[in-house]
Copies of this chain bind each other. A is one copy, B any other.
Amino acid sequence: MTELMSRRAALVGAAAASLLPLASGTTQAAAPLTGRQAPGWYRYKVGSFEVTVVTDGINRFKMANDHVTNRPLADVGAAQVAAYYDAAMMTTPYNPIVVNTGARLVLIDTGGGEATFLRSKGAAGQLNTNLAAAGIDRNTIDAVIISHYHGDHINGLLDAKSGLAFPNAEILVPAAEHKFFMDDGEMSRAPAGRMQTVFKNARRVMNADVLKRIKTYDPGKEIVPGITSVDTNGHSWGHNSHIVASGKDKVFVQGDVTHVPHLFARNPGWHAFYDQDGPKAEATRRRIYDMLVADRTMVQGFHYPFPGLAYVEKAGNGYREIALPWSPTI
């Protein structure tokens, strides 16, 4: 360290001279450390469509004792360590995608919104920055498809001032999810604590401006040409996934069929505290993942590590994701 420091000090003095070409073996003035990460977007084709994964970033938080409701925290910590994560810290990526069908520009889920940027010290709330880096003007988004009403999927509908983040977009939401979270009876019967928080947040986001733009959809429908909804409820009342298909290609955009794969694909029987109906979420997870394995269908995982495009296969008592290799061209 001392040697490095004295080198650096010497080099600061030599900065002016270093603008000239140096003789072989002479050290350049040190390039400053940048502290800057690459922009978080990645693009691939599905048939004639362009899919752009635009990460909202990650969130890190200390796990609650009941993070997995049907397993002791020690088991969860062991799974974390086995996957090279800190035992006690949850690391959750958020990966919205933009589908350009050639006719429409469609965002699927939004991430936690600009308001989370400062709270996370810039690690999350990156969607709009990364959209711009990817050359996508948010004013040109034609439609936002929502998988379900949890905050990390809907909060980004609003900008930092609670205005519309995508002012020219239709907002396509699952009919069952919308009905459930807007129903005063359901809200009054929901347990205190987390579930009340989810209700309150959903109603905060679904403000008058958003409600004006909402269209509800049912499972099993082509809700935008080339994008079909799939009933995958359990994680939430009306949770939907989406199949993006063009020509012979398709990708299964799973939403939260699994949360982070190193816990919930590897252990499909584990129920997260944010699964509204644990057993139903598990049944959905097993049904969908068995299908993805059998058909060798690519999955795009909202909570997979960026860019989140993978094949899945059976492994141990569950499933393992095999990320597609980064392609330098599309």
CB nearest neighbor in B for A306: B326
A1 and B249 CA atoms in complex are apart in Å by 13
Asked if A31 CB lies within 8 Å of chain B CBs, one says yes
Asked if A33 CB lies within 8 Å of chain B CBs, one says yes
Task: Among B122, B296, B311, point to the contact of A329 (Cβ < 8 A).
Answer: B122
Closest chain-B Cβ to A224's Cβ sits at a distance in Å of 10
Q: Which residues on B sit within 8 Å (CB–CB) of A325? A: 58, 91, 93, 305-306
Closest chain-B Cβ to A46's Cβ sits at a distance in Å of 12
Asked if A317 CB lies within 8 Å of chain B CBs, one says no
B328 touches A58 (CB 8 A): yes
Asked if A229 CB lies within 8 Å of chain B CBs, one says no
Q: Which residues on B sit within 8 Å (CB–CB) of A124? A: 328
B136 touches A31 (CB 8 A): yes
Q: Which residues on B sit within 8 Å (CB–CB) of A324? A: 84
CB contact under 8 A between A326 and B84, given known A4-B226, A21-B167, A102-B4: no
A27 and B7 CA atoms in complex are apart in Å by 60
B225 touches A38 (CB 8 A): no
A123 and B57 CA atoms in complex are apart in Å by 27
A213 and B25 CA atoms in complex are apart in Å by 7
B37 touches A330 (CB 8 A): yes
Task: Among B121, B123, B225, B323, point to the contact of A305 (Cβ < 8 A).
Answer: B323
Q: Which residues on B sit within 8 Å (CB–CB) of A78? A: none
Asked if A218 CB lies within 8 Å of chain B CBs, one says no
A323 touches B322 (CB 8 A): no
Closest chain-B Cβ to A58's Cβ sits at a distance in Å of 6
Task: Among B11, B140, B212, B328, point to the contact of A37 (Cβ < 8 A).
Answer: B328
Sample (21) of A-B pairs whose CB atoms are under 8 Å apart: A4-B101, A4-B102, A8-B102, A11-B103, A21-B168, A24-B170, A27-B103, A30-B100, A30-B102, A33-B50, A35-B330, A37-B328, A37-B329, A38-B39, A40-B326, A40-B328, A55-B326, A83-B322, A91-B325, A93-B325, A93-B326
Q: Which residues of A contact B (CB under 8 A)?
A: 1, 3-4, 7-8, 11, 21-22, 24-25, 27-31, 33-43, 48, 50, 55, 57-58, 83-84, 91, 93, 100-105, 121-124, 126, 133-137, 140-142, 167-168, 170, 212-213, 215, 225-226, 247, 296, 305-307, 311, 322-330
Further contacts, 7 of them, CB under 8 A, given A8-B103, A28-B140, A55-B326: A11-B103, A24-B212, A28-B142, A35-B50, A57-B329, A58-B325, A93-B326
